[in-house]
Amino acid sequence: MKKRLSILIPVGAFLLMTIAFSACKKTVNNNTHVPAAGLMAFNLAPDSTSVGFSVGGDRLTTTPLGFTEYTGKYLGVSPGTQDISVLDFSSGAKLATTSQLFADSAYYSAFFVGTAGNYKNIIVKDNFDSLSSTSGQAYIRYVNAIPDSSLQPNVTIASGGTNVFDTTSTFSTVSDFKGITPGDITINVSAETSVNANRTISVEQGKIYTILLVGSPTATDSTKAVQIKFIQNGQVTP
């Protein structure tokens, strides 16, 4: 049986095999495949409150993304090697640029991370094809966007007392997706006395989540301090 993946977007969910990326257009009664990849972009830099993304010189986002904001869905980009740039939304100044090869019909995430002028993009392919629709599990991964290269916090993510993740994580790490028992899961990130955040969330069978470990250990503003957030990428269905 062919596996399908529904992608979460603001107006509903579409099947992976039939999703129409926002950058693709089809004429009436034209079933010709229009090559496209999907890109979801995140601003995880705590001191960058208004950024935009461009791909191949074209704006990906028409409105600014504040800290911890993201595109909310996978947006269509042309296949091939493209430069992904993060811009100061007001001035247009480039903050970081990364080259990425996009494959047709594949999905990618771009995480803008760093602080104090030391920024970079992390681009990863979201390998949904490796996830089973019949396992009975939810799927999670994490991104360590806490901008301090001297810290290597311990990250644990557990369900029912069993750790699915229990690892030391360096800044800008993006883990693979792993299966976890649906229900309440506990997430903890800690490093000496400077980082100590935890959160319990509920995950559902077949749904795919990205856990965002964000914020600055030295922030005096609570909205910029180390915190745990998450988004749902989509859902695997039979």
Nearest to 60 by CA among 33, 80, 42: 42
Q: What is the pLDDT of residue 39?
A: 98
Rounded CA gap, 47 and 204, in Å? Answer: 33
- Residue spans of the chain under pLDDT 50: 1-4, 6-28
Residue type, 39: L
Domain containing 49: what range?
4-237
Q: Looking at residue 33, which CATH number applies to its domain?
A: 2.60.40.2890
Q: Are residues 142 and 73 in contact, defined by beta-carbon separation less than 8 angstroms?
A: no
| Residue 201 main-chain phi, psi, to 5 deg | -130, 165
CB 35 within 8 A of CB 29: no
Q: What is the pLDDT of residue 30?
A: 59
Output the pLDDT for position 238: 73
Residues 64-118: tens digit of each pLDDT: 999 999 999 999 999 999 999 999 998 999 999 999 999 999 999 999 999 999 9
Q: For the chain, how many structural domains are there in total? A: 1
